[in-house]
Chains A and B, each alone.
Chain A
Amino acid sequence: MILLWMIVILMAGGLLAWLSKKWHPELPRWIALFAVLADFILAVYLWLDAPTATLGASPWLLQLEIPWIPQWGVNFILALDGLSLLMLLLTFFLGILCVLISWREIKVKTGFFHFNLLWVLAGITGVFLTMDLFLFYFFWEVMLIPMYFLIGVWGHANRNYAAYKFFIFTQASGLLMLLSILGLYFIHGAQTGIYTFNYFELLGTSMAPEAARLLMFGFLAAFLVKLPVVPFHSWLPDAHSEAPTAGSVILAGLLLKTGAYGLLRFVLPLFPTATVEFAPWAMLLGAVGIIYGAILAYSQTDLKRLVAYTSVSHMGFIILGVFAFNEWALQGVVMQMIAHGLSTGALFIIAGFLYERLHTRDIGQMGGFWAKAPKMGVIALVFVMASLGLPGLGNFIAEFLTLVGSWQANNWLTVVATIGLVLATAYSLRIMQKVFYEPAPTDHPLPDLTAREMLIAVPMVVLILWLGLYPQPVLDTARPSINQQLQAYQEPEVEEKVAVVAEIPKAELNIEKVKKR
Chain B
Amino acid sequence: MSQTDFLHLMPLIILTVAALVNMLVVAAWRNHKIIYVISAVSFVAAFLSLFELRGITAYTIYPLFVIDGFGVFYIGLILATALLISMLSYAYFEQREEQKEEYYILLILSTLGACTLVISTHFASLFLGLEVLSVALYSLISYLRARKRSDEAGIKYLILAAFSSAFLLFGMALVYFSVGTMTFAGIATAMAGLQELPLLLLTGFGMMIIGIGFKLSVVPFHMWTPDVYEGAPAPVTAFIATVSKAGVLGIMIRFFMEVDGFRYPTLITIFTIVAISSMIAGNLLALMQTNVKRILAYSSISHLGYLLVAFLAGNRMGVEAITFYLVAYFITTVGAFGVVAMLSDPEQDAELLEDYRGLLWRRPWTATAFTAMLLSLAGIPLTAGFVGKFYVLAAGVNEQLWLLVAMLVLNSVIGLYYYIKIIAVMFQQPEAEEETPRRRLRPSIYVASVGTLAILTLLLLLVGVYPTALVDIIQNVFSSAPAMVNR
Contacts and interface: CB of A to CB of B under 8 A. Distances in A.
Interface of A: 68-72, 108-109, 112, 134, 137-138, 141-142, 144-145, 148-149, 152-153, 160, 163-164, 167-168, 171-172, 175-176, 178-179, 182-183, 185-186
Given A141-B386, A142-B381, A152 B393 contact: no
A171 B412 CA distance: 9
A142 B382 CA distance: 7
Given A168-B413, A175-B413, A145 B375 contact: yes
B62 interface: no
B427 A153 contact: yes
Contacts of B375: 145
B390 A108 contact: no
Contacts of A175: 409, 412-413
7 contacts: A134-B390, A138-B381, A164-B424, A168-B416, A178-B390, A179-B393, A185-B394
Contact of B468 (A68, A112, A144): A68
A185 B391 CA distance: 13
Most A CB contacts (10 A, CB to CB) among B364, B381, B394, B420 go to: B381
B397 A186 contact: yes
Interface in B381-437: 381-382, 386, 390, 393-394, 397-398, 405-406, 409, 412-413, 416-417, 420, 424, 427, 429
A108 B430 CA distance: 12
A326 B21 CA distance: 79
A163 B406 CA distance: 25
Contacts of A68: 466, 468
A350 to B, nearest CB: 27
B380 A163 contact: no
B365 to A, nearest CB: 11
Contacts of A183: 397
A11 to B, nearest CB: 10
Nearest to A71: B471
A186 B400 CA distance: 10
B424 A160 contact: yes
Given A182-B397, A186-B398, A164 B381 contact: no
B162 to A, nearest CB: 41
Interface of B: 360, 364, 375, 380-382, 386, 390, 393-394, 397-398, 405-406, 409, 412-413, 416-417, 420, 424, 427, 429, 466-468, 471-472, 475
Contact of A164 (B394, B398, B417): B417
Nearest to A21: B364
A175 to B, nearest CB: 5
Contacts of B398: 186
A152 B428 CA distance: 9
A108 B406 CA distance: 41
B397 A69 contact: no
A207 to B, nearest CB: 14
Contacts of B416: 167-168, 171
Contact of B380 (A71, A134, A141, A172): A141
A148 B472 CA distance: 34
A152 B471 contact: no
B367 to A, nearest CB: 10
By Cβ-Cβ distance, the 3 closest A-B pairs, closest first, are A182-B397, A141-B381, A172-B413
Contacts of B475: 71
Contacts of B417: 164, 168
Contacts of A171: 412-413, 416
Contacts of B394: 72, 182, 185
Given A71-B472, A172-B413, A179-B406, 19 more contacts: A68-B468, A108-B429, A141-B380, A142-B381, A145-B380, A149-B427, A152-B424, A163-B424, A164-B417, A168-B413, A171-B412, A171-B416, A172-B409, A175-B413, A178-B390, A179-B405, A182-B393, A185-B394, A186-B397
Contacts of B424: 152, 160, 163-164
Nearest to B467: A69
Most A CB contacts (10 A, CB to CB) among B420, B467, B472 go to: B420
Contacts of A176: 409
A160 B398 CA distance: 38
A129 to B, nearest CB: 16
A179 B409 contact: yes
A167 B412 CA distance: 12
Nearest to B474: A71
A154 to B, nearest CB: 10
Contacts of B412: 171, 175
Contact of B471 (A69, A141, A160, A182): A69
Nearest to B386: A141
B187 to A, nearest CB: 33
